[in-house]
Amino acid sequence: MKTPLLTIALAAGLLAQAPFQVKVTGHGQPMILIPGLSSSGEVWDTTVERYKDRYECHVLTVAGFAGVPRVPAPMLDRVRDGIAEYIQQKHLDHPVIVGHSLGGFLALSLASKYPALAGKLVIVDSYPFLAAIMDPGATPAKAQEMAAPMRQRIAGETQDEYERYVKSGVGTRMMVASESGFERIVAWGLASDRSAVGDALYEMFSADLRDDIARIKSPTLVLGTWIAYKQYTDHARTEANLHRQYGKLAGVEIEVTDTAHHFIMWDDPNWMFGLMDRFLGEPGAVPAR
């Protein structure tokens, strides 16, 4: 019998703590929900409320975000492998994996490396290769060159400078439609470890999963949006880009909203839940057109 990766790491003292915190709510088929950059697992509260009577919801908050202590880099690999270990330790039978943004990237990475563990995937506004959103010709090497200054800038800021940047809303003001939603994002950002944010941005931006996703065996639903990025894209270009990036994932279903910003679960929950219900085979779900 093989010794699980995380068990080896813990025995060797390589991990001072788990790479995420978990809150479990509900009963039924297991569902793991992974939030995005700097976000608390509370981002999934309305999703949990909808599904908790039929699914056992395992809601993560990633290390370094929203008050959870950070883990050393490579951060995202630790989180991915930690989720795989969690699934095995808890004997979760092919859990549904729902991931938003960075959480969607982690879900793709998990299902690519451990295709036998994951059940259905729901990917909320995330891409296998983030750098290719704006530059379809980007390569991993070029992406690393672009991402390194981001991490260096964050690392070089004082805590006061970082907090002023988070409060300014640069990069986040257009991510959600409501002011209350924006205030929650800012609060989580202020409670996040800036080194962890820099590590996560660098690792996600420079990684390219477009070939790796060919190994995924799970049925996958991708939910995309464009209006938060309308200065450089529109519905047609966003949909075309999603199909290009997910081209090697057999049977992927892609849907694009015209109403929600990046936090789709907050801006248009009816649209998202309707598609999820159909994809998950919920009773009374509207069939795909």
pLDDT digits (tens, 9 = 90+) for 234-257: 999 999 999 999 999 999 999 999
Whether 285 maps to a domain, the answer reads no
Non-local CB neighbours of 137 within 8 Å, separated by 6+ positions: none
Q: Please tell me the predicted confidence (pLDDT) of residue 7.
A: 37
Q: Please tell me the predicted confidence (pLDDT) of residue 283.
A: 79
Pair 64, 199: CB distance under 8 Å: yes
Whether 8 maps to a domain, the answer reads no
Whether 286 maps to a domain, the answer reads no
Q: Please tell me the predicted confidence (pLDDT) of residue 232.
A: 82
Amino acid at 17: Q
Pair 196, 75: CB distance under 8 Å: yes
Whether 104 maps to a domain, the answer reads yes
- Number of compact structural domains in the chain: 1
Pair 43, 35: CB distance under 8 Å: yes
Whether 5 maps to a domain, the answer reads no
End-to-end CA distance of the chain: 46
The stretches in the chain having pLDDT less than 50 are 1-16, 288-289
pLDDT digits (tens, 9 = 90+) for 11-55: 333 344 789 999 999 999 999 999 999 999 999 999 999 999 999
Place of tokens 């729902």: 98
pTM score of the predicted model: 0.92
Q: Are strands 20-26 and 55-62 parallel, antiparallel or unpaired?
A: antiparallel
Q: How far apart are CA 178 and CA 224, in angstroms?
A: 19
CATH number, domain containing residue 91: 3.40.50.1820
Neighbours of 137 (CB within 10 A): 7
- Residue 131 backbone class (left: φ over 0; alpha: ψ -120 to 50; beta: rest): alpha
Q: Which domain holds residue 101?
A: 15-279
Whether 179 maps to a domain, the answer reads yes
Q: Please tell me the predicted confidence (pLDDT) of residue 286.
A: 58
Q: How far apart are CA 288 and CA 146, in angstroms?
A: 39
Whether 127 maps to a domain, the answer reads yes
Q: Please tell me the predicted confidence (pLDDT) of residue 287.
A: 54
Whether 36 maps to a domain, the answer reads yes
